[in-house]
Amino acid sequence: MDKKCRFALLRRELTSRRYNRRMHAAREMDPEDPLSLFDLWMKDAEEREPSDPNAAALATCTAGGQPGVRMVLVKRVGELRLAFFTNAESRKGVELAENPRAALCFHWKSLGRQVRVEGGVKELPAEDVDNYFHSRSRDSQIGAAVSLQSRPLANREALERMVQSFAEAHPGAIPRPDYWRGFFIEPAQIEFWIDGANRLHDRFLFTRDGTSWLKTRLYP
């Protein structure tokens, strides 16, 4: 078999696999609770996505309408699937204080799937924030304690001196700074996106309606 034929067969096989994954994922769009479906997709991502399956783009906005976006690691805290932690004095922390709404976008390239979430944002209880803070490595705790996140830094050496000085001053447990907080999104909309051939993607939008959800299929 020549190289051209092998390439054609491989392409056909990959196309078939993508089609089968798409059809399987589309059939999952029946549950009344889209958060249960999100759990299934996240489980698949944890098994097959090679790096940080819980990474998502977090979009926030100032009171004046200036948007901002950055990558965060989304954690599950109890029943809350869409929690994240940050310095409340950082740019995103300030924007959330001004305008407590946000959007998340998960993209799993290896699965050909994407999830978008929009909704209001609330703070996690201090106990949950403490538990997560102290579950991190000591070095990560120190980094969170000394960083004046989003503010100007003269040079790398200044940061490293701050880290060393703080570590020497706290040989035991690291106290969680009051400004290091946890937040979670209460989803008002969740959109599931499935990669399709020729850009004919499948999109399903779930919109909260009181205690239930309305499902709508969208054009690609």
Tell me: pLDDT of 17 over 60: no
Instruction: Tell me the pLDDT band of 24, cut-offs 50, 70 and 90.
Output: low
Q: What is the pLDDT of residue 32?
A: 76
For the chain, domains (ranges, CATH) are 32-45+52-127+180-218 (2.30.110.10)
Position 109, amino acid = K
Q: How far apart are CA 216 and CA 98, in angstroms?
A: 31
Which of 118, 217, 129 lies closest to 175, judged by CA? 129
Q: How far apart are CA 29 and CA 88, in angstroms?
A: 36
Tell me: pLDDT of 21 over 90: no
Q: pLDDT above 70 covers what percent of the chain?
A: 86
CA atoms within 13 A on the CB side of 54: 10
Which of 139, 102, 111 lies closest to 43, judged by CA? 111
Run of H or E including 47:
helix 34-48
Tell me: pLDDT of 96 over 50: yes
Q: Are strands 75-77 and 202-209 parallel, antiparallel or unpaired?
A: unpaired
Instruction: Tell me the pLDDT band of 50, cut-offs 50, 70 and 90.
Output: confident
Active site residues: 199
Q: What is the pLDDT of residue 207?
A: 97
In the structure encoding, which two tokens stand for residue 183, read together?
């937040």
Residue 90 vs residue 50, higher pLDDT: 90
Partners of 149 in the β-ladder: none
Model confidence pLDDT, tens digit, residues 142-199: 999 999 999 999 999 999 999 999 999 999 999 999 999 999 999 999 999 999 999 9
Instruction: Tell me the pLDDT band of 19, cut-offs 50, 70 and 90.
Output: very low
Task: Compute the average pLDDT of residues 91-101.
Answer: 97
In the structure encoding, which two tokens stand for residue 52, read together?
């940080």
Other residues' Cβ atoms within 10 Å of the Cβ of residue 129? 20
